[in-house]
Amino acid sequence: MATLLFTALGNQLGGPLGGVIGALAGRQVDTMLFGGRGREGPRLKELAASTSSYGAALPRLHGRMRAPGAIIWATDLVEHREKQGGGKGRPSMTTYSYSASFAVALASRPIRSVGRIWADGNLLRGAGGDLKTGGTLRLHTGERDQLPDPLITAAEGANRCPAFRGLAYAVFEDLDLSDFGNRIPALTFEVFADEGPLTLAMLAEGLIDRADTDVPLPGLAGIGNEGPLGDLLATLDPVYPMDADACGERLTIARERLQVEPIALSEAATSPREGDFGSATGFRRTRAPSPEAVPGLLRYYDVDRDYQPGLQRAPGRPRPGQPAVIELPAAMAAADARMLIASTARRAGWARETIAWRSATLDPAVAPGGVVTVPGEPGRWRVTDWEWRETGVELTLARIAPAEVSGDPSRADSGRAALAPDLVAGPTRLAAFELPWDGQGSADAAPLHAAASSATAGWSGAALYVDRGDGELHAIGVTGRARAMLGTAENILPSASPLLFDRSSSLVVELVGDDMALASASPAQLAMGENRALLGNEVIQFARADSLGGRRWRLTHLLRGRGGSESRVAGHVAGETFILLDGTPVALDAAAMGLGPAATIAAIGRGDATAVHAAIANRGVALRPLSPVHPRVSQSPDGGLSLRWTRRARGAWTWNDGVDVPLQEQSESYEVLYGPAESPVVRWDTAAPRLDLNGAQLAAVSAAMPAGQFHVRQRGSHALSDLLFLHQLT
């Protein structure tokens, strides 16, 4: 009650400064009359989120704080549609995404910068200033000469767009909302408002005049204030004593800082009046009983836990009863908070001892907040209030703790917290390739794939484009967030039989990321297609993967020439691209892209300054028939020759009950060549996997080229297979 009365009276007599003085004086009266536990200032609350409530107060931010802000302007959602697929035999798919542009007010005073930004609890902007999703951020620090934002000006018109001078705000332009359910997320901002240690003068700047408030606030990293200055002082008073001296022309807070040494009081003066304290001695010493709840816990915003609420306990033996909890809505480190609650608890314990002292000397320096010594009493004492009466100046003194304590900051612990990782989006690594047809979909479509990855775990995907050879990029989809397992071969893999386990060869691969790992596979897993990889143009499988430290892995127990790539087991070189075929590479529709011989695939991610291009490896392998196998030769009774072989079908990688699978070509056709493959002497076309030559025909062939070789290849709908050696004449 006295606080309200003195505040109103101070406002009437002295304006804003008088109101502050009145509030402080009234609070001290209320404390003496009703005790100090009845008043509650601003309470610590869980991290708030940005709102758009009309008329909501914006805080004055000081130091470094995490603040929610208020949305003050926004556009409608912008819809983006993208069509994918639609090639021969495949339906098209249209995907939709949305973006929005909006402005968020952060503080009602100028700030220096903005650090991290959280959206729905996840990092939207890292400490390095990188946005984790698409869009642009502009910051207006609230200076008196700041200009209107160009986006808001373009949308609202120059005559209707204020510059918001004195107001710090951030503008998001075309922020991608795909990660937030196509809505504007709940935002919080790490705001850096002031530089250097905080003082009370910085908090009171522009709010009161004729005041000496240069009070240091050690350990305080940041604080926000939405209400009157008096409420802020009341919030800080339990941990930073705010004894106010309003006797002179200037309001002085915490006068102790202006003293070099304590002031020695004169001898106590007696009083002839009956009923005055210490009428015979001039002083009265009292010791208040232990309060029901001694300050022992401090709640604050922990800077090491992304400004989530933290709790520190005063050191020492716990006292009886429930300790009082001090709510300090300020940002600080755990060690500073522990030191602060330690000194607060110690100060509260010693301040129970008080002296009422009557002095016959009027000393202007002996005022509330000052430190004095008392004749005949040890230690130092703080003046809490004084009154000038006919019998002398009556002072109330509170005992000061003999020495400050550190609170053992080494034992301070912020506790565990699930903090949002700040992962930087690195540059994209891209590989494009064609794989042998796996029997899925159309046999006439080439299954192209794009494998995109990055060295950093913060990479979250990239947009894919095709360059048909003219330098123009055409969008063809996205990679997804999962990083493909890419690497580079350090050694040259030697040739080996594709029919047996290659137990003698080993391949050393350096992966693109330190956090990537390869795993071994059992024979059953290999039979199910595990650990397939594309090395150069050969598809291999590996049964064992051993880490060599860092990004390097050794692969052994290999299966070679998988998927009909047995002709590529030779000819490997060092530095070939290694791609794990684990489902992460993205399938592309070659028919819909209209690829030419010079076409390349490109990708652009958030960490890429320019598009990353990759040539398409293994072109044509999907539509090329598999070479025949199992050549057989027999002599006919007339001296002729009978050549036989076994056909293979594209997409048929398993043996199904001994039944031949469809050939996947328009017709079964073979070419049998005699002589050099580039310029054969004789060529035969056959529709069956055999060729019979009688004695006369064989003699004519041998005469044309003695000791020549027979080869066969399958003629497919789109290409010719590799050659199979059948026989050599002697």
154 Cβ neighbours under 8 A, 6+ residues apart: none
- Percent above pLDDT 70 for the chain: 88
Residue 331 lies in a domain: yes
Residue 245 lies in a domain: no
274 Cβ neighbours under 8 A, 6+ residues apart: none
Of the three residues 411, 445, 473, the one that is the final residue of a domain is 411
Q: Cα(407)–Cα(345) distance, rounded to whole angstroms?
A: 10
Helix (H) or strand (E) holding 61: strand 60-67
Residue 478 lies in a domain: yes
Of the three residues 591, 617, 643, the one that is the final residue of a domain is 617
| Residue 13 confidence (pLDDT) above 80 | no
N-to-C CA span, the chain? 121
Do 384 and 533 lie in a common domain? no
What long-range pairs does 473-481 form, CB within 8 A, spacing at least 24?
Answer: 473/602, 473/611, 474/593, 475/82, 476/84, 476/588, 476/589, 476/592, 476/593, 476/601, 477/82, 477/84, 477/586, 477/588, 478/586, 479/450, 479/452, 479/586, 479/603, 480/584, 480/586
Do 613 and 634 lie in a common domain? no
Q: What is the mean pLDDT of the chain?
A: 86
Confidence of residue 9 (pLDDT cuts 50, 70, 90): very low
For residue 317, the model assigns a pLDDT of 77
Residue 210 lies in a domain: no
Residue 256: CA count within 13 A, CB half-sphere:
16
Helix (H, G, I), strand (E, B) or coil at 438: coil
Q: For 32-85, what is each residue's pLDDT tens digit?
A: 433 444 444 455 665 566 666 777 788 999 999 999 989 999 999 888 877 665
Is 549 buried (19+), middle (13-18) or exposed (0-12) by CB count in 10 A? Answer: exposed
Do 468 and 587 lie in a common domain? yes
Do 523 and 395 lie in a common domain? no
**Residue 688 identity:** A
Do 557 and 672 lie in a common domain? no
Q: For 139-179, what is each residue's pLDDT tens digit?
A: 999 999 999 999 999 999 999 999 999 999 999 999 999 88
Confidence of residue 31 (pLDDT cuts 50, 70, 90): very low
Residue 486 lies in a domain: yes
Helix (H) or strand (E) holding 33: helix 2-34
Q: Cα(182)–Cα(97) distance, rounded to whole angstroms?
A: 7
| Residue 7 confidence (pLDDT) above 50 | no
State the residue for tokens 């989006």: 425
Do 590 and 653 lie in a common domain? no
Residue 532 lies in a domain: yes
Confidence of residue 710 (pLDDT cuts 50, 70, 90): very high
For residue 623, the model assigns a pLDDT of 87
Q: Cα(27)–Cα(427) distance, rounded to whole angstroms?
A: 60
Closest of 487, 478, 526 to residue 507, by C-alpha: 487
Confidence of residue 22 (pLDDT cuts 50, 70, 90): low
Scored b (16 or more CB within 10 A) or e, 143-181 reads eeebebbebbbeeeeeeebebbeebbbbbbbebbbebbe
Q: For 612-641, what is each residue's pLDDT tens digit?
A: 999 999 888 888 898 999 999 999 888 899
Confidence of residue 709 (pLDDT cuts 50, 70, 90): very high
- What is the domain-level CATH number for residue 657? 2.60.40.10
Q: For 383-414, what is each residue's pLDDT tens digit?
A: 998 888 888 899 999 999 887 655 566 677 88
Helix (H) or strand (E) holding 295: strand 295-302
8 Cβ neighbours under 8 A, 6+ residues apart: 22
Q: What is the average pLDDT across 284-303?
A: 86
Q: For 542-573, what is each residue's pLDDT tens digit?
A: 999 999 999 999 999 999 999 888 889 998 99
Do 358 and 462 lie in a common domain? no
Do 518 and 439 lie in a common domain? yes
For residue 411, the model assigns a pLDDT of 75
**Strands 577-580 and 486-489, how do they pair?**
antiparallel
Range of the domain at 21: 1-38
Residue 359 lies in a domain: yes
Do 185 and 333 lie in a common domain? no
Is 540 buried (19+), middle (13-18) or exposed (0-12) by CB count in 10 A? Answer: buried
State the residue for tokens 């199992």: 630
Q: What is the average pLDDT across 696-708?
A: 90
* Token pair recorded at residue 163: 């510059």
188 Cβ neighbours under 8 A, 6+ residues apart: 47, 48, 49, 50, 66, 67, 68, 69, 117, 118
Residue 422 lies in a domain: no
Higher pLDDT, residue 61 or 420:
61
Q: What is the average pLDDT across 456-485?
A: 89
Domain count, the chain: 5
Q: Cα(78)–Cα(101) distance, rounded to whole angstroms?
A: 9
Do 447 and 561 lie in a common domain? yes
Helix (H, G, I), strand (E, B) or coil at 720: strand
For residue 37, the model assigns a pLDDT of 41
Of the three residues 159, 192, 225, the one that is the final residue of a domain is 192
| Residue 12 confidence (pLDDT) above 60 | no
The per-residue DSSP string of 355-385 comes to: EEEEES---TT--TT-EEEETTEEEEEEEEE
Do 540 and 574 lie in a common domain? yes
For residue 93, the model assigns a pLDDT of 66
Do 592 and 448 lie in a common domain? yes
Higher pLDDT, residue 441 or 601:
601
Confidence of residue 92 (pLDDT cuts 50, 70, 90): low
